[in-house]
């Protein structure tokens, strides 16, 4: 993660992340990302090799079409930029959008007919 301050005391922070969950950045995890991004005042941009989008917009995030293994760059500009990038990186790479690991799924209750 890289953080800088420009001459107007605006913090700029960026990092590169890898989508690690098997389903990629489909609508549910994209919405989790957008919800987390919207908790911060800073501007957040997410980009891949082809597109650069607003990280606070679900419609724009879905345009990235990021699959498992895709690398994205998160850039935040504002007073809480460093915290925003840290939280978003953790959501994507460590929590993997809180998707349960294989084998940790709760078993569905079986219906017992009498």
DSSP 106: P
Beta strand segments in 2-48, E? 2-5, 11-18, 43-47
Q: What is the DSSP string of 24-37?
A: -S-HHHHHHHHHHH
Phi, psi torsion values for 24, nearest 5 degrees: 75, -160
Indicate the length of the chain as a whole number: 114
26, 89, 95, 96: the active-site residue: 26
Catalytic residue status for 14:
no
Dig out the tokens for 19 from the structure: 């989508």
Rounded to whole angstroms, the Cα distance separating 17 from 74 reads 8
Q: What is the DSSP letter of 49?
A: S
Active site residues: 26
């Amino acid at each position: 993660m890289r953080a800088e301050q420009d001459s107007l005391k605006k913090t700029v922070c960026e990092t590169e992340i890898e989508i690690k969950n098997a389903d990629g950045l489909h609508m549910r995890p994209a919405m989790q990302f957008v919800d987390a991004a919207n908790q911060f005042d800073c501007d957040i941009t997410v980009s891949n090799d082809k597109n650069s989008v607003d990280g606070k917009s679900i419609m724009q995030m879905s345009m990235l079409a990021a699959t498992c293994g895709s690398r994205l760059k998160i850039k935040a500009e504002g007073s809480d930029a460093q915290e925003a990038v840290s939280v978003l990186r953790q959501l994507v790479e460590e929590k993997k959008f809180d998707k349960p690991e294989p084998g940790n799924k709760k078993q569905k209750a079986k219906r017992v007919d009498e």
